Amino acid sequence: MDDAGTGTGYMKATFAAGCFWGVEAAFRKMKGVISTRVGYTGGQLNDPTYLDVCTGTTGHAEAVEITYDPAILTYRQLLAEFFHIHDPTTPDRQGPDVGCQYRSVIFYHDDTQRAAAESCMMHLDSGGRYRQPVVTHVVPVSEFFEAEEYHQQYFEKNKGTMCHILEKHGH
């Protein structure tokens, strides 16, 4: 599947795990990630802005769309990073960020991704890694609305700025 549409064999993955700044920065460090973009998906409003999504009324999640090379990086490795960088047991909250826009979601692009996500979550729940059940949603990808330019690669543009994801995991 050539999800990136470039004829290169690259694939896409889309995750929401709280504020997209730290999530994007963590994934950008992985070998095999070709590009990322942050935006909004999973809601009802067409072409939402950051201010729209911050109201918590549009249904969108702050998300990161990742283009990766499956010859270098597997989807399961992306899932492992996703579950490593956030707490998937807290509904509508990550660190200091509270609201449905910060919920934990895996937006799958095909049935293979869906099956891998569901398998990974079953393993996490049965393995006792967390005291509470995993509340991550696994839903089909919907239209992705790219966030405003100042949100893209935020930490690369704003050196020295930190967030709970990067502090907690030493990224």
Q: Would you please indicate which residues are annotated as catalytic (active-site) residues?
A: 19
Q: Sign of dihedral through CA atoms 109, 116, 75, 19?
A: positive
CA nearest 71: which of 113, 11, 117?
11
Q: Is 28 exposed, middle or buried (0-12, 13-18, 19+ CB in 10 A)?
A: middle
